Structure 1
Amino acid sequence: MEDLPFLIFWVTSTSISFLSEISIAADTITPTQSISDGLGQTLVSSGQTFELGFFSPGNSKNRYIGIWYKNSPSAVLWVANRENPTTDSSGVLTIAKDGNLVLLNQAQIIIWSSNLSKVAENSVTQLLESGNLVLRDKSGSGSESYLWQSFDYPSDTLFSGMKLGWNLKTGLNRYLTSWKNSDDPTPGEFSYRIDNLGLPQLVLREGSSKLFRTGLWNGVRFSGIALLAKEVFKNYFVYNTEELYYMYENNKNSIITRSTLNQSGLVQRLKWNEGSFEWTVMFTRPNDLCDNYGQCGANGICKINDSPMCKCLVGFIPKSPQEWDVLNSSSGCVRRVPLDCEKGEGFIKIGGVKLPDLLQFWLNKNMSLKECKVECLKNCSCTAYANSDIRGGGSGCLLWFGDLIDIKEFNEGDSIQDIYIRMAASEPGMYLFVISYFLATPSMDSLESD
């Protein structure tokens, strides 16, 4: 019986040791701790909003590390090891000796890593209440102590507080990529990112092919999409020498929303319905046929409320009338009268549009609209011009050369974007406008000449 106290102490100590292995700090992993798939361990953010753990998507048996809203685990927001799953429940997420956050398989082989550029001592991992998984220096707590963060490497979903776009100092580009399918989070064919060419715009692609674009940033909004309801969430667009990104924040005590690029190539804004415990779609991009990239071909304009919706710009005619007769406008339009740089050439103003894509262009942010017109007339290849910024009555100069691609009729309150299309001096439309089945008809006071 003298050995009994020792036995009780040994059993108690063993139990405490076992419990310490399966119970870790609620939102943090230290170098002496880990998350084990086999034990069903997870991290939960301090406010109980987000959870990190292992999961299997759809009908797959592969295992991945992901982050989700705690009250909606089926909607995975971020995946760490998208291309390198574990094949069983032996995976362990821990901090390696070099300070990296790593995922180990059954053979203790690293199959995913935060991949720091240098060794980090005293690093810890924390799931923040924002949903951001950070690897930081143990002695710090602010963003300056972050060594790595999941917000810099989005999967298919953008949610409140995440940045979509560029760190221009480091070259980091944050963008969405679809899952391959519902069973496989491997990056698929679709991407949604900010193009930083002249003026920024969000572009949806399948591979390298453009499917949809928001239109150019004009100082107020992207020229081809509406301003979103401020009572639901606040939108931010930052464009300076250091950063270029879009971000939104859910309003306090408001509904939770997320934007997801799905496997079909649609960008959907979804909201969480507390009553039914399900996600419902608020809106989708592309939203209608006029959102499809180049729907009306070169030098065409898409008007969703007209029938047919595709028309040629003023001064242009269908390149293939036979195709247009059967509502196939993909061949686009050509000039009725070629430009020849003769005196008397002028411009037709078309108001309320999504500006053409920047394929061949020139940009000067300091010019006035009048100076922009003069600059366009100097170059025989210039086909159109517009203000690059519509704030304060307009400023800056955009010139287009060659064909005008992906123009859509679009009016948004007081923030209307105009474009001026160059006309040949001998173009009949310079003197008399005839309403045509195919023509986008301007008003008489929209005529400008040199």
Structure 2
Amino acid sequence: MALEKVPYSPFFYSVYVMFMLNLVIASDTLNPGQSIKDGERLVSSGQSFELGFFTPEKSKYRYLGIWYKFSPEKVVWVANRNNPLTDSNGVLTFSDEGNLFVLNRSKSIIWSSNSFRVLRNPVAQLLDSGNLVVSENTTSHSGECSWESFDYPTDTILAGMRLGWSPKTGFEWRLTSWKSKDDPSSGDYTYGINVNGLPQYEMLKRGSTKTYRLGPFNGFRFMGTPAIESTLFNASFVYNETDVYSEFESSRDDIITIITLNQSGFIQRLLRKKESSTWDVMTSKPRDPCDNYGQCGANSVCKSNKDPRCQCLQGFVPKSQEEWQLFNSTSGCIRKAQLNCSQEPGLLKLSMLNLPDLIDFRVNKNMSLEECKVECLKKCSCTAYAN
């Protein structure tokens, strides 16, 4: 059979090039020998998420990130957040060991997945959950991955992501805010779970200063927050010897919910209907001044419906009356009279309050509340008990 020579046509040529370019953009996987250049993207199979290079508004730098395909302004993960590209010559590719690399114009590494597991035939895939996973590309693949972006959150928690840490390995899942809405580099605030006797959520400013905490886990829920049932998501909390973390799963396909830590130090749950063009704030914490850490100082209570908000506990007076008159109660309260343990001690029940921060405490998981009371009354150093 003789082959017919097809005359050159600029029209057919341009259609062919555009089709090939669309194939590259629509793929959800990256294999050895392939790369993602600036302008090219991975797209998850269900068309939910995209991965590529982006520039925040009012910024001159380029970053590798993941965002919602229907909401490109909502970037949920950033790879090189603290080492931006200065031009559009960035490339995402594989190393010989199976690590993902972001290279700049001079082929220098500005970001790496940095997995310790060497892969012979790696593949990177952007899942429809928004998770970028690197694994061995074999027919007998067990589902285990050597690296995943869900293990390295930036300022956003998606459905299926963890917030917490592993006591066994010391690995931590913690949010870090953007520096500003136009700068995804590490900002002033971090948010995660502190396990100091009992797990509790806490927010830190500039690394060490506590600004907010939710209250410890009491075996059923975190104290200091109302028990809310939602038809939009199912939240769960794992607390055992190897893992301490929270996560949630979406309950509806038409509404998306995420958790974000913004640059002002507010942890918010956002929701968006797929046909909508805006993200709405479902919850935001801290909610009022009483949520601010140490608002009233020691031996006092903060009540947002009172004026002034800070009040000393019964049997206590302001440590500095002058400061309290100026509405500065951070110095807290002191006892009216010294505690005399030679006398018959008594305990005053306080209800509807969040437990104080667990700083000087002892936890016994096998003791009833009455047994705890008896044990506390034996020691003059024990000033309160709870379950």
Q: TM-score range by the shorter chain?
A: over 0.9
Q: Any idea what the Cα deviations from partners look like across 1:115-136, whole Å, max 9, x if unmatched?
A: 1114211110001111111001
Distance 1:199 1:88 in 2: 47
Secondary structure (helix, strand or coil) at the match of 1:323 reads helix
TM-score normalised by the chain length of structure 1:
0.80
Q: Share of identical aligned residues, percent? A: 52
1:297–1:337: structure 2 CA closer, same or farther, 3 Å change rule?
same
Distance 2:347 2:273 in 1: 51
Counterpart in 2 of 1:41? 40
Deviation at 1:252, TM superposition (A): 2.2
Deviation at 1:323, TM superposition (A): 2.3
Distance 2:141 2:347 in 1: 54
1:147–1:13: structure 2 CA closer, same or farther, 3 Å change rule?
farther
Distance 1:347 1:381 in 2: 13
Counterpart in 2 of 1:138? 137
Counterpart in 1 of 2:31? 30
> Are the aligned partners of 1:22 and 1:41 in contact in 2 as well (CA < 8 Å)?
no
Which moves more between the two structures, 180-189 or 321-330?
A: 321-330
Deviation at 1:183, TM superposition (A): 2.2
> Are the aligned partners of 1:232 and 1:254 in contact in 2 as well (CA < 8 Å)?
no
Counterpart in 1 of 2:323? 323
TM-score normalised by the chain length of structure 2:
0.92
Q: Does 1:313 pair with 2:313?
A: yes
Counterpart in 2 of 1:223? 223
With CA pairs under 8 Å and 6+ residues apart, which has the higher RCO, 1 or 2?
Answer: 1
RMSD of aligned Cα (Å):
2.6
Distance 1:191 1:177 in 2: 4
1:316–1:63: structure 2 CA closer, same or farther, 3 Å change rule?
same
Deviation at 1:276, TM superposition (A): 4.1
Distance 1:238 1:329 in 2: 37
Secondary structure (helix, strand or coil) at the match of 1:361 reads coil
Q: Does 1:302 pair with 2:314?
A: no
Distance 2:167 2:230 in 1: 28
Secondary structure (helix, strand or coil) at the match of 2:146 reads strand
> Are the aligned partners of 1:81 and 1:112 in contact in 2 as well (CA < 8 Å)?
yes
1:345–1:141: structure 2 CA closer, same or farther, 3 Å change rule?
farther
Distance 2:168 2:138 in 1: 26
Q: Any idea what the Cα deviations from partners look like across 1:89-114, whole Å, max 9, x if unmatched?
A: 11111112211111111122221111
The amino acid of 1:194's aligned partner reads I
Distance 1:272 1:82 in 2: 25
Secondary structure (helix, strand or coil) at the match of 2:211 reads strand
Q: Any idea what the Cα deviations from partners look like across 1:17-66, whole Å, max 9, x if unmatched?
A: 997677436211011222110xx211111111111111001211211011
Secondary structure (helix, strand or coil) at the match of 2:290 reads helix
Q: Any idea what the Cα deviations from partners look like across 1:278-322, whole Å, max 9, x if unmatched?
A: 112112110001101111111111111122221111221111222
Distance 1:273 1:305 in 2: 34
Q: Aligned pairs, how many? A: 383
Deviation at 1:196, TM superposition (A): 1.0
Which moves more between the two structures, 317-326 or 41-50?
A: 317-326
The amino acid of 1:125's aligned partner reads A
5 Å matches for 1:429-440?
A: none
1:378–1:263: structure 2 CA closer, same or farther, 3 Å change rule?
same
Distance 2:282 2:23 in 1: 39
Unaligned runs of 5+ in 1: 388-450
Deviation at 1:237, TM superposition (A): 0.6
Distance 1:188 1:261 in 2: 10
Deviation at 1:140, TM superposition (A): 6.1
Counterpart in 2 of 1:334? 334
Which moves more between the two structures, 318-327 or 281-290?
A: 318-327
Deviation at 1:5, TM superposition (A): 5.1
Unaligned runs of 5+ in 2: none
Distance 2:386 2:96 in 1: 57
Counterpart in 1 of 2:255? 255
5 Å matches for 1:409-420?
A: none
Distance 2:235 2:353 in 1: 22
1:61–1:320: structure 2 CA closer, same or farther, 3 Å change rule?
same
